[in-house]
């Protein structure tokens, strides 16, 4: 597959599509994420994985066009698919008025490397890529010539120009539904250590792509300039916001696209299926619970809730409810010995994707948490909360000192609350807001009760004899690579696992909740919902695909202990 050319693809499309159905073969394709653009050739088949940061309006292109040989008068049909520029042989001219010219539509997405991938996941991906060592193909010599600017009977086909590229007296051959303007500075270019961003052009796909989706694509690389400066009449579209030079933002004409449902590279390299993970779940659960208990300074209840939080995700949406989420606020957090920094270091070792956000006044007042549309450049400017699914967000509220929030800070707090309660982010399009679903587990660490809402508030009760620095050093020593990999796979598999509540358990839960209401009349439907969410996560954490009586009882006991702590006052001796 690595030596496929565009000509080979067009001549053997059906056969090539069959080979693409085996996604394991994709690994043999050179990856743009781990290669310098200079190492890859224009027209080469490449692979790319990233998050859709912006999506442009559909654009028109010539799927088929007719050219005529000026020497003998013969004409032939050419394909404009997977190409940026119309091309023809010497002495051929483009027939702009031909009835055989066919216009089609393609979609363009601006993709960046996922902004919250942790270093261990990146390391595994790069290690696997270097181990496979895909063969780089040579640049095939061009069999066609780009027409010169003096030929006024033909026009360039620009894949995403913001105006129609024309030459004097030439007919329009390409247009877009949008008007764009801007400069390279308007694009959200990632830092060098985060990898390469690119524009992907999608033709035929069954995938319903949306902002923040993580995708893996195969396609032919277009890294050369869209046009050459051959005269004053030629417009250089390389400076438009949507058409940066290929050396800065390469373009990929996609032949295959698939969504990435998780970002754990170990699941593609470990030869064990989910059944094997469930079989060993109890052992891994015990090891992970031991580690979490230690880093939470001996608090087993807080470890229970944190473990459930780590495997939580939205599995269904009903009206305004996002079922499956478990936002967690752990309060009474120690502020000595850089405790939160050390705790987050452990979480980074376990999770494929996470982001730490200190909730200081400066961060709240000066940064945009929700993406905003910039109409001057027709670009979507990213925000702190533009994150892909299953990115764990850790909010450090201990950094919030006395002061005043300005209007932007208040809006940011409101946006965080919406993510926590509804798993939605409302993007700012200036004249209106657009709702986007999210799946971002949120962990709030605070000294007192957080100013943000949460599904569960747990008061940390640390043991008096725990030394913070020594405790975390011991935890890291215990987390050897083999155990870490088991935990990483375990967390991802349990997060995505299906779960059922058998009919007999549904009846038992109803009867049990009636009894709870008799004891405590303040119990509401929200309390029942919380118990069901918690019982599901407790079951999955132990490798159980169905709710059983033991897990239900454990969930109810956890809730009772948690609520009792909220009414008691126990000082934190480690602060």
SS3 assignment for 80-126: CCCCCCCCECCCEEECCCCCCCEEEEEEEEEEECCCCECHHHHHHHH
Q: Residue 359 above 80 pLDDT? A: yes
Domain end position, chosen among 462, 496, 530: 496
Residues 282 and 375 in one domain: yes
With a CB cutoff of 8 Å and minimum separation 6, the contacts of 324 are 312, 313, 314, 315, 316, 533, 536
Which has more confidence, 213 or 190? Answer: 213
Residues 346 and 424 in one domain: yes
- The answer to whether 83 and 255 are in contact (CB under 8 A) is no
Mean pLDDT score across all residues of the chain = 84
Q: Is 291 exposed, middle or buried (0-12, 13-18, 19+ CB in 10 A)?
A: buried
Mean pLDDT check: name the lowest of 109-118, 135-144, 157-166: 157-166
In angstroms, the CA 257 to CA 107 distance is: 12
Q: Is residue 523 part of a domain?
A: no
The model's pTM: 0.86
Q: Per-residue b/e over 158-184, b at no fewer than 16 CB within 10 Å?
A: bbbbbebbbbeebeebbebeeebbbee
CA distances from 373 to 431, 434, 549 (A): 10, 10, 50
In angstroms, the CA 169 to CA 152 distance is: 6
Would you call 253 helix, strand, or coil by DSSP? strand
Measured in whole angstroms, the distance separating CA 389 from the mean position of its chain's CA atoms is 6
Q: Is residue 508 part of a domain?
A: no
For the stretch 487-509, pLDDT in tens is 999 999 999 999 999 999 999 99
Domain end position, chosen among 456, 475, 496: 496
- The answer to whether 395 and 442 are in contact (CB under 8 A) is yes
- Smallest Cα–Cα separation from 201: which of 59, 102, 106? 106
Query: Which phi-psi region, left, alpha or beta, contains residue 32 (left: φ > 0; alpha: ψ -120 to 50)?
Result: alpha
Q: Residue 169 above 70 pLDDT? A: no
- pLDDT, position 132: 62
For strands 92-94 and 316-318, give the pairing. unpaired
User: Residue 456 is encoded by which pair of tokens?
Assistant: 């569960």
- pLDDT, position 151: 35
- The answer to whether 422 and 455 are in contact (CB under 8 A) is no
Residues 75 and 218 in one domain: yes
Bridge partners, residue 59, by sequence? 106, 176
Residues 313 and 458 in one domain: yes
In angstroms, the CA 245 to CA 239 distance is: 7
- pLDDT, position 569: 62
User: Residue 245 is encoded by which pair of tokens?
Assistant: 């030079």
Count of structural domains, the chain: 2
Which has more confidence, 239 or 54? Answer: 54
Bridge partners, residue 456, by sequence? 328
- pLDDT, position 163: 30
Q: What sign for the dihedral angle of Cα 147, 150, 153, 159?
A: positive
pLDDT band at 226 (very low <50, low <70, confident <90, very high): low
Q: What sign for the dihedral angle of Cα 33, 35, 36, 41?
A: negative
Q: Is residue 358 part of a domain?
A: yes
Which has more confidence, 524 or 575? Answer: 524
- The answer to whether 388 and 438 are in contact (CB under 8 A) is no
CA distances from 193 to 34, 81, 484 (A): 10, 33, 24
Domain of residue 374, residue span: 270-496
Which has more confidence, 114 or 466? Answer: 114
Q: Residue 150 above 90 pLDDT? A: no
Q: Is residue 1 part of a domain?
A: no
Q: Is residue 242 part of a domain?
A: yes
Residues 48 and 109 in one domain: yes
CA distances from 262 to 114, 422, 461, 496 (A): 12, 21, 34, 9
Residues 307 and 205 in one domain: no
Residues 239 and 301 in one domain: no
With a CB cutoff of 8 Å and minimum separation 6, the contacts of 77 are 64, 65, 66, 100
For the stretch 313-323, pLDDT in tens is 999 999 889 99
- Cα angle, residue 376 at apex, residues 375 and 377 outer, rounded to 5°: 90
Q: Is residue 542 part of a domain?
A: no
Residues 229 and 290 in one domain: no
For the stretch 392-430, pLDDT in tens is 999 999 999 999 999 999 999 999 999 999 999 999 998
Residues 372 and 234 in one domain: no
Residues 20 and 73 in one domain: yes
For the stretch 322-339, pLDDT in tens is 999 999 999 999 988 899
Domain end position, chosen among 260, 288, 314: 260
Q: Residue 195 above 90 pLDDT? A: no
In angstroms, the CA 301 to CA 307 distance is: 10
- pLDDT, position 571: 53
- The answer to whether 134 and 82 are in contact (CB under 8 A) is no
Residues 19 and 130 in one domain: yes
CATH number at residue 415: 3.40.50.300
pLDDT band at 463 (very low <50, low <70, confident <90, very high): confident
For the stretch 251-280, pLDDT in tens is 999 999 999 988 899 986 554 578 889 999
% of the chain with per-residue pLDDT over 90? 65
Residues 274 and 240 in one domain: no
- The answer to whether 370 and 415 are in contact (CB under 8 A) is yes
Mean pLDDT check: name the lowest of 29-38, 336-345, 380-389: 29-38
Place of tokens 């009636």: 514
- pLDDT, position 242: 58
In angstroms, the CA 136 to CA 40 distance is: 7
Which has more confidence, 486 or 187? Answer: 486
Question: How many other C-beta atoms are found inside a 10 Å radius of the C-beta of residue 552?
Answer: 22
pLDDT band at 572 (very low <50, low <70, confident <90, very high): low
Order the strands of the 424-428 sheet from edge to edge: 379-381, 372-374, 424-428, 433-437
Helix intervals (H) in 334-435: 339-350, 361-366, 407-422
- The answer to whether 65 and 98 are in contact (CB under 8 A) is yes
- pLDDT, position 228: 46
For the stretch 98-113, pLDDT in tens is 999 999 999 999 999 9
pLDDT band at 143 (very low <50, low <70, confident <90, very high): very low
Bridge partners, residue 203, by sequence? none
In angstroms, the CA 417 to CA 60 distance is: 41
Q: Is residue 506 part of a domain?
A: no
- Smallest Cα–Cα separation from 532: which of 498, 568, 500? 500
- At 135, which helix (H) or strand (E)? none
Q: Is residue 315 part of a domain?
A: yes
- pLDDT, position 25: 85
Angle between helix axes 119-132 and 339-350 (nearest 10 degrees) is 30
User: Residue 231 is encoded by which pair of tokens?
Assistant: 């005269």
- Smallest Cα–Cα separation from 443: which of 507, 494, 394, 504? 394
């Amino acid at each position: 597959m690595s030596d496929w050319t565009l000509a080979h693809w067009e001549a053997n499309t059906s056969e090539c599509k069959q080979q693409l159905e085996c996604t394991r073969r994709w690994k043999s394709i050179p990856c743009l994420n781990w290669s310098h653009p200079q190492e890859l050739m224009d027209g080469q088949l490449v692979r790319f994985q990233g998050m859709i940061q912006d999506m442009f309006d559909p654009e028109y292109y010539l799927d088929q066009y007719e050219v005529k040989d000026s020497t003998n008068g013969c004409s032939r049909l050419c394909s404009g698919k997977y190409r940026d520029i119309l091309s023809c042989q010497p002495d051929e001219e483009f027939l702009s008025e031909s009835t055989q010219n066919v216009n089609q539509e393609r979609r363009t997405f601006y993709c960046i490397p996922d902004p919250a991938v942790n270093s261990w996941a990146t390391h595994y991906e790069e290690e696997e890529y270097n181990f496979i060592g895909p063969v780089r193909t040579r640049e095939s010599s061009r069999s066609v010539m780009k027409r010169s600017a003096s030929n006024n009977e033909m026009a360039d086909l620009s894949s995403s120009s913001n105006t129609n590229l024309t030459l004097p007296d030439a007919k329009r051959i390409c247009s877009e539904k949008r008007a764009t303007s801007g400069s390279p500075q308007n694009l959200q270019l990632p830092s060098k250590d985060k990898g390469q961003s690119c524009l992907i052009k999608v033709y035929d796909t069954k995938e319903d792509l949306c902002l923040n989706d993580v995708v893996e694509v195969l396609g032919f690389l277009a890294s050369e300039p869209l046009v050459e400066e051959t005269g004053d009449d030629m417009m250089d579209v390389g400076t438009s916001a949507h058409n940066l030079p290929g050396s800065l933002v390469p373009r990929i004409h996609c032949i295959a696209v698939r969504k990435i449902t998780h970002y754990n590279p170990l699941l593609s390299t470990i030869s064990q299926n989910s059944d094997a993970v469930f079989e060993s779940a109890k052992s891994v659960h015990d090891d992970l619970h031991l580690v979490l208990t230690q880093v939470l300074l001996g608090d087993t209840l807080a470890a229970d809730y944190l473990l459930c939080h780590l495997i939580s995700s939205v599995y269904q949406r009903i009206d305004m409810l996002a079922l499956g989420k478990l936002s967690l606020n752990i309060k009474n957090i120690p502020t000595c010995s850089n405790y939160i920094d050390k705790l987050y270091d452990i979480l980074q070792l376990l999770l494929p994707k996470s982001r730490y956000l200190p909730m200081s006044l400066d961060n709240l007042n000066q940064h945009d948490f929700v993406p905003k549309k910039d109409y001057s450049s027709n670009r979507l400017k990213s925000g702190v909360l533009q994150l892909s699914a299953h990115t764990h967000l850790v909010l450090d509220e201990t950094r919030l000192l006395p002061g005043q929030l300005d209007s932007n800070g208040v809006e940011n707090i409101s946006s965080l609350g919406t993510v926590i309660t509804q798993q939605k982010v409302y993007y700012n399009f200036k004249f209106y807001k657009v709702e986007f679903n999210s799946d971002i587990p949120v962990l709030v660490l605070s000294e007192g009760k957080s100013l943000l809402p949460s599904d569960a508030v747990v008061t940390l009760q640390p043991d008096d004899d725990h030394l913070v620095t020594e405790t975390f050093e011991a935890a890291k020593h215990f987390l050897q690579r083999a155990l870490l990999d088991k935990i990483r796979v375990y967390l991802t598999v349990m997060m995505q696992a299906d779960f059922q509540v058998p009919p007999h358990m549904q009846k038992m839960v109803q009867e049990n909740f009636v009894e709870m209401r008799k004891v405590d009349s303040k119990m509401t439907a929200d309390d029942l919902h919380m118990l069901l969410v918690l019982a599901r996560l407790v079951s999955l954490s132990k490798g159980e695909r169905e709710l059983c009586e033991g897990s239900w009882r454990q969930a109810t006991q956890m809730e009772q202990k948690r609520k009792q702590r909220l009414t008691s006052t126990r000082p934190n001796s480690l602060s």
